[in-house]
């Protein structure tokens, strides 16, 4: 899984003492000692009136997109085999500039020689930038990673500064270590351009390099 947070306000991670794991005669991690480690956890009661305002709609429809008719939008969706379910779904963007990404993001896109958004990006970006919930399904190699990473960068940059000890603003969960590493590789260049920190955490490898 990959976490993203701003380089402007992140301090050094606070360290916590490592627990001592020891096995008993019956075998490791057996008996009452590790039977139910979360049994004393209680559900947090949040007072919504005391929480800071959380803004999540940063989408500004480009004038070219606003002028596009419903028939033109439907024709584009059919040509890209885009199927939409739900209500009030924004129009897909046909060009990168219509997504209104920051200049540093657009610079990276230009360096990577992308010509136009893929289908999942064209429809996914307006939805994600609007702060709406979305389940996107697309084939391997269709650009799904950028379909959520680039809106995530916009959301990160619009949130209040983090305090020391806060967790990441954006959390990406991946089903395998290899996929998590791929997400981190894609994110690295965009995060550097936007002065963001990103990290990849996964099992099956020493934790020291991951912490650093």
Ranges of residues in the chain with a pLDDT under 50 are: 1-31
Q: What is the pLDDT of residue 118?
A: 97
* Distance in angstroms (rounded) separating the CA atoms of residues 101 and 99: 6
Instruction: Map out the domains of the chain with their CATH numbers.
Output: 2-6+55-211 (3.40.50.300)
Q: What is the pLDDT of residue 15?
A: 42
CA distances to 72, 75, 112, 124, 153 from 186, in Å? 32, 31, 11, 17, 13
Q: Contact 150/98 with Cβ under 8 angstroms? A: no
């Amino acid at each position: 899984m990959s976490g993203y947070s701003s380089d402007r306000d992140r301090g050094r991670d606070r360290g916590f003492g490592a627990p001592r794991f020891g096995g008993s005669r019956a075998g490791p991690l057996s008996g009452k000692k590790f039977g139910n480690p979360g049994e004393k956890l209680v559900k947090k009661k949040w007072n919504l009136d005391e929480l800071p305002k959380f803004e999540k709609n940063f989408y500004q429809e480009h004038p070219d997109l606003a002028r596009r008719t419903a028939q033109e939008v439907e024709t584009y969706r059919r040509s890209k085999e885009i199927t939409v379910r739900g209500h009030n779904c924004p129009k897909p963007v046909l060009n990168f500039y219509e997504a209104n990404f920051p200049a540093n993001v657009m610079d990276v896109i230009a360096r990577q020689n992308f010509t136009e958004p893929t289908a999942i990006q064209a429809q996914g970006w307006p939805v994600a930038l609007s702060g709406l919930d979305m389940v996107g399904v697309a084939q391997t190699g269709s650009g799904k990673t950028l379909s959520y990473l680039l809106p995530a960068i916009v959301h990160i940059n619009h949130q209040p500064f983090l305090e020391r000890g806060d967790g990441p603003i954006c959390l990406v969960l991946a089903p395998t270590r290899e996929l998590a590493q791929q997400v981190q590789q894609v994110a690295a260049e965009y995060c550097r351009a936007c002065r963001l920190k990103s990290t990849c955490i996964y099992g099956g490898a020493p934790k020291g390099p991951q912490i650093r």
